[in-house]
Amino acid sequence: MDRSRRNFCLGAGAATVGAATLAAAPADAGAVSASGDAAHRWAMVVDVRKCVGCQACTVACIMENDVPENSFRTIVSTYEVTEQGKAGSYMLPRLCNHCEDPPCIPVCPTGATYQRRDGIVVVDNSVCVGCAYCVQACPYDARFINHETQTADKCTFCVHRVEAGLLPACVETCVGGARIFGDLKDPDSTVSKLVREQNPKVLKPEMGTQPRVFYIGLDPKMQGKVDGTPTLWRPAPHADKEHA
């Protein structure tokens, strides 16, 4: 089955490299629950050994979620590293970690940032006042103020797609199969098996936030690297802005 198909339905039981089976699509696939379903705990595993830094995930996220120019819900940061006298590149895919203990929630003065029962951390834009307290509180540099809406913005695991029985856009478009998404509460899911068997790492474990984005093959030196310059791709400034 072609993983690039936008209508890839996981509820039918199909799975490919980089994919994990989700529940069947609800009757009202267009509806997104504000509270989520506690029967699930969604998570992502990133195999950095398979990431080629193509930024397909970044582009897919921008298109799927209408992310404004020069802002990112997910991105692959590229680092130049030197080992045994040889220079090379290290790819670190990054996004909101949907932590078990999210530090962004208690600092929000309006309750706009909250965690659904399935673990996905979201922002209620109708309540957010754009104070950026959550942006500052996030230890993973995974939030930003959307300059079009003037409210906090971030990865949501493409919650609207998940509730329709689809993969997050970044997972569906990952050409190397480096991103795997699924339900930690399902012991037979690919994500659960990888977490049990591969002993994946998390970013900044010392923060005690219990991230639910896990990394296979993560160099320990990169666990604290949450900011970096994506050197392989960056959206070009709009032409009329350049000449304004």
| Residue 112 pLDDT exceeds 70 | yes
For the chain, the farthest-separated pair of C-alpha atoms sits apart, in whole angstroms, at: 58
| Averaged pLDDT for residues 127-147 | 96
The whole-chain average pLDDT of the chain stands at 84
- Helices then strands (H, E): number in the chain? 6, 9
Instruction: Give residue 25's pLDDT band: very low, low, confident or very high (50, 70, 90).
Output: very low
**What pLDDT, on the 0 to 100 scale, is given for residue 185?**
98
Lowest mean pLDDT among 16-25, 82-91, 142-151, 193-202: 16-25
- Residue 123: pLDDT band (50, 70, 90) is very high
In this predicted structure, the answer to whether residue 127 has a pLDDT above a threshold of 60 is yes
CA atoms within 13 A on the CB side of 21: 12
Please tell me the predicted confidence (pLDDT) of residue 235.
52
Mean pLDDT of 163-176: 96
- Interval 116-130 mean pLDDT: 97
Residue 135: enclosing H or E segment and its boundaries? helix 133-137
pLDDT in tens, 190-231: 999 999 999 999 999 999 999 999 999 998 888 886 654 434
DSSP calls for 33-86: -SS--TT--EEEEEETTT-----HHHHHHHHHHTPPTT--SEEEEEEEEEETTE
Per-residue confidence (pLDDT) for residue 228, from 0 to 100: 43
Structure tokens at 243: 């000449």
% of the chain beyond a pLDDT of 90: 69
Q: Which of 16-20, 143-147, 196-200 has the lowest mean pLDDT?
A: 16-20
Q: What is the pLDDT of residues 27-83, one digit of tens each?
A: 444 567 889 999 999 999 999 999 999 999 999 999 999 999 989 999 999 888 777
User: Do β-strands 42-47 and 213-216 pair in parallel, antiparallel, or remain unpaired?
Assistant: parallel
Banded pLDDT at 238 (limits 50, 70, 90): low
Return the domain boundaries, the chain: 10-223
Q: What is the pLDDT of residue 236?
A: 54
**pLDDT surpassing 70 at residue 171:** yes
CATH 3.50.50.60 describes domain 10-223: no
pLDDT at 98 > cutoff 90: yes
pLDDT the model gives residue 192: 98
7 pLDDT above the threshold of 80: no
Average pLDDT over residues 79-101: 88
Q: pTM of the entire structure?
A: 0.81
Give residue 179's identity as a one-letter amino acid code.
Answer: R
